Amino acid sequence: MKSLKGKVAIVTGASRGVGKGVALGLAEHGTVYITGRTERGDMLPDFLKLTGINQTAEEVDRVGGVGIAHKCDHASDDQVEELFKRVEAEQGRLDILVNSAWAGGAHVMGGYFFNTPFWEQPVSLWDDNYTVGLRSNYVASRLAAKIMTKQKSGLIVNISFYGGRRYFNNVAYGVCKAAVDKLSADTAHELKDYGVSVFSLYPGQAGTEGLLEAAKYDSNFDVSAMETPRFVGRCVAALAGAENAIENTGRILITAELAEHYGFSDVDGKQPKSLRGLLW
């Protein structure tokens, strides 16, 4: 595999959850720009107090990378454009973009996200899934492509999920994830000749702050079987360092299967199991 030393990455929505884990996984290799709306989590509920882009950047530094926090609302095209201008001005390149930002958290906390018919959910749930989760991926990918096509190299990873392939408790979420997968496939088609790979990446059940908190009250969650968010970052790093990744560009990939293929484990030494059975 190619060395990632000196590579530059942007991870959107990296104040917490999978995005934060990806930033930490990539921190083992280079410079990571960390975006999100929360600068520090001090005013959030207790289980989120240590989440925020500044805190993620500090953790990236502690594990040997260079973390750069950049406050950005991915619903604002102007703010996103400023982010990419900053990266190009400061680094002169961009090697990895991971689109992880998602605006559905407030709806999950609202208690109606799961197991509520779509006609009883607010239309704003659709709007938020679309704006920060699909449209934001398109906008960031477009700006990344402008840099990467000049370099003739790069990697774009869209964090998706099994809801894009089968019903998964929420109509708006599933439709938008399916669209994310189509976005990956079509942008990959146009970028392949420029040496830029694009993938949709399906994590398993990731032990994010919110899911670990929910597991305290719901015995249906098996914490021992969860993969860490940082494991997702290791998967992205493996793709970025793979010599022949471009051959599979546009595909949906599963974190556990990538780990098996490239021969690495989670940070806790476990080997997560693929949830491929959920695709059919």
Annotated active-site positions, please?
Answer: 173
Cα 107 versus chain centre, distance? 19
Whole-angstrom Cα distance, residue 170 to residue 163?
8
**Ordered strands of the 96-99 beta sheet:** 66-71, 31-36, 8-11, 96-99, 154-159, 196-202, 252-254
**Which residues, in sequence order, are bridge partners of residue 199?**
157
3-state secondary structure of 170: coil
Label residues 31-70 b or e (16+ Cβ within 10 Å = b): bbbbbbbbeebeebeeebebbbbbbbbebbeeeebebbbb
